[in-house]
Amino acid sequence: MDEIKIFAPATIANISCGFDVLGCCLDTLGDEMIVRKSSVKGVRITKIIGEDLPLDTEKNVAGVAALALLKNIKEEYGFEIEIYKNIKPGSGVGSSAASAAGVVFAINELLNKPFTKLELVEFAREGERLACGSPIADNVAPAIFGGFTLVKSTNPLQIVELPSFKGLYATIIHPQIEIKTEDSRSILPRKIDLSLAVKQSANLGSLIHALHTNDYFLFSESLTDYIVEPHRSKLIPDFDKVKSNALKAGALGCGISGSGPSIFTFSKNIQTAYNVQGAINKVYEKNGIAHHTYVTKINIEGVKVL
């Protein structure tokens, strides 16, 4: 195989109670990429459609992730990358992670899979280092593993794959404003109250238990963020109204997706997910801010070949 076309999924990081450690993978919302072997060594980004992003390999997250992988193989040939972006950078649903995860997955397939998923996350997070200054893995891990993941440790990198509910849907609203991850991280307090840390760790533990025991009620009860959301929600127009409308419409929970401005909600089934979409759309139709909403099931496969 000399060429591959893949779907690189959007992801939700943090999931309210798991700042920098929890993430889950989405379906239908994502980028497409074509990666092909070339007789010319090195990595070249030959086309980017949909967003104005650098073609320069060293300045592009996909380029940097591909180079990190290439350092670990005997280079016999090079790779050309075409990126078809559907996820806006700065949207909070893992735009840079999709590009970075997509390219390392694709190259691994073209090389007959010499690398494990964990190693692919290791390469892909070099793209995150370029995008936001730190090699966070809470978006790239679910993009590569699929489903829900927990970043147990970043050094050494350890990822725990978590079970997912059958039939779980996410509804996402993406207000058309850009929030850079770096900026959204810079407003967070360096120190936090011990009582908040206790409540947050109780929620994180309960949420993981809920996933293992298929307990929607406990899952819903655990989707509260005491640490990050109070600071970041100020950056997102009408966040509180979106949240209360979503919960009234039957959502299991609602929070900031990654570093925002997108807001995620989870629902038990597709009908509720659409009801939630209607309810949150109403808030943004009223405030007049341009936005997109998406309804998607949780993708347990991660990046996939098209």
Which residues are near ligand HSE by CB under 6 A? 13-14, 19-20, 136, 138-139, 181, 184-185, 258-259
Looking at residue 253, its amino acid is G
Query: Rounded distance, CA 61 to CA 95, Å?
Result: 10
Q: How far is the CB of 181 from ligand HSE (least distance, A)?
A: 5
Q: Which is nearer to ligand HSE, 184 or 275 (CB)?
A: 184
In the residue annotation, 181 being an active-site residue is answered as yes
Residue 86 exposure: Cα atoms within 13 Å on the Cβ side: 14
Which of these, 109, 136, 105, 166, lies nearest to 300 by C-alpha position?
A: 166
Provide the minimum distance between the beta carbon of 30 and ligand HSE in the complex, in angstroms, as a whole number. 15
CB of 265 to ligand HSE, least distance (A): 17
Sign of the alpha-carbon dihedral angle for 54, 59, 62, 67: positive
What span, in angstroms and rounded, lies between the C-alpha atoms of 46 and 60? 12
Q: Compute CA 205 distance to the chain's CA centroid, rounded to the nearest angstrom.
A: 21
Residue nearest to ligand HSE (CB): 258
Nearest partner of 242 among 285, 208, 204, judged by Cα: 285
Closest approach of ligand HSE to the CB of residue 19, in Å = 6
The token pair at 26 is 């989405």
Closest to ligand HSE by CB, 63 vs 261, is: 261
Query: Is 301 annotated in the active site?
Result: no
Q: Please tell me which residue in 32, 122, 126, 128 is annotated as part of the active site.
A: 128
Q: Which is nearer to ligand HSE, 108 or 184 (CB)?
A: 184
Choice between 11 and 222, CB closer to ligand HSE:
11
Catalytic residues: 128, 181
